[in-house]
Structure 1
Amino acid sequence: MVQPAKSTKGPLLDLLHVGCGQKRPERLPACFRTPAWNEIRFDIDSAVEPDIIGSITDLSLIGDATMDAIWSSHNLEHLNSFEVPLALAEFRRVLKPNGFALISVPDLRAVARHIVTGQLDKPLYHSAAGPITAIDIVYGHQLSLQHGNDFMGHRTGFTADSLGQALCESGFPEVRVHTGSNWDLWAVALMPETSEEVFQHLSGVMQ
């Protein structure tokens, strides 16, 4: 089991960073880039040297109600649609009663509007991995797949409504989904004892 990190100033808040990729603390949302948070890196790809190796559909190496927050950036779309409820149930299981999950995924509705104009291969934006096209968003980053990284394939997708519904059906009592600025969706899912002040705290992050 993962043991919470300790500090001479008191226990840190444990952040489970699922699908973490290469270690880049500067790419964490600003709310997690403070001394209060202890990042626990979780990824299916051993090459990125995570703290824990595994699939987000099975977080059995992590104890129940041990994490203060989960950060999931562009991970759920890599699952088959029938696996999404498994992953979300695991998120809820490992979160403390006053924890929360911050999630981002591609916005298929926004991308579809672009696709119908016929601009399938035109870059929509530039990322650290290079230009991102509609094909990359729908099917996975093509350059990474070309280089043999099969973990980058996409197997499902979301609209704001479907993401919110999936989170609610997984037992999160309060969920809010917002449209981002890079053809993405952002969601915050609260546990039963989490203060709604979290929404205000994260308002500047979800964009």
Structure 2
Amino acid sequence: MFGLLRTKNLEYINFIKNENIQYANVTERLPFADNSCDVVYSSHMLEHINPADVPSFLQETHRVLKPNGIVRIAVPDLMRKTKDYLASGDADEFMRDTLLGEFWSQATSFRGRVRFALVGDPSAHKWMYDGMSLAKLLEQHNFTSCKVMPDGETQIDAPGELDLYERSPESVFVEGRK
């Protein structure tokens, strides 16, 4: 697409097509009926959503979950990143690691600004969370029993092939119930 998409973006588009994955704007409406899902799992997506749009996603998640259903959210752990920063003292590495300034690195050229205007920058983080802040956020949106789950553990009855260590140790996993 006129050199505006990176190779990894094109590979991702092909993966989506090949796996028949359907697009849904999680800040608008999830394509599921009310009370129809046992589990909603989000991995390394929430930090890419504008904080003002997160309540819409959480309301939709609550809507589609069955009573006592579980939401499991994995995000980069700000607490771990902060501890790494305090140990190293390298503020530049900390900011690079959070991806909070990613937009600015992409928008330094005309091509970068045009690309961002057309397709955005899905790799940029809009916000960061730690376990406590994410559990509090879930509680504020009517989820109960919200807690940080140790790597490899879940309250989901039959997690199947769900990777309970996904991107560990950089991730924090928080679960709550409807």
Q: Would you call these one fold, judging by a TM-score over 0.5?
A: yes
Which residue matches 1:28? none
**% of aligned pairs identical?**
28
One of 41, 47, 53 as aligned partner of 1:83: 53
One of 123, 144, 147 as aligned partner of 1:176: 147
Alignment size in residue pairs: 136
Which residue matches 1:139? 100
Deviation per CA, 1:168-189: give whole Å up to 9, x if none.
Answer: 0110122111364412210111
CA change 1:140–1:66 in 2 (3 A) is farther
**Larger strand percent:** 1
Deviation per CA, 1:66-94: give whole Å up to 9, x if none.
Answer: 11111111111001112212111111111
One of 124, 128, 133 as aligned partner of 1:153: 124
CA change 1:86–1:46 in 2 (3 A) is farther
Deviation per CA, 1:36-56: give whole Å up to 9, x if none.
Answer: xxxxxxxxx865235321221
TM-score when scaled to structure 1? 0.55
Deviation of the 1:59 alpha carbon: 2.5
The alignment yields a C-alpha RMSD, in angstroms, of: 3.0
Deviation of the 1:103 alpha carbon: 1.0
Mapped to 2, the partners of 1:135 and 1:179 lie a distance apart of 26
Larger radius of gyration: 2
What secondary structure, in the 3-state scheme, does the structure 1 residue paired with 2:128 have? coil
**Gaps spanning 5+ residues in structure 1: where?**
1-21, 23-44, 123-132, 192-207
Conservation of the 8 A alpha-carbon contact between 1:46 and 1:53: no
Deviation of the 1:64 alpha carbon: 1.0
What secondary structure, in the 3-state scheme, does the structure 2 residue paired with 1:100 have? strand
Structure with the bigger RCO (C-alpha within 8 Å, sep 6+) is 2
Conservation of the 8 A alpha-carbon contact between 1:57 and 1:87: yes
What secondary structure, in the 3-state scheme, does the structure 1 residue paired with 2:122 have? helix
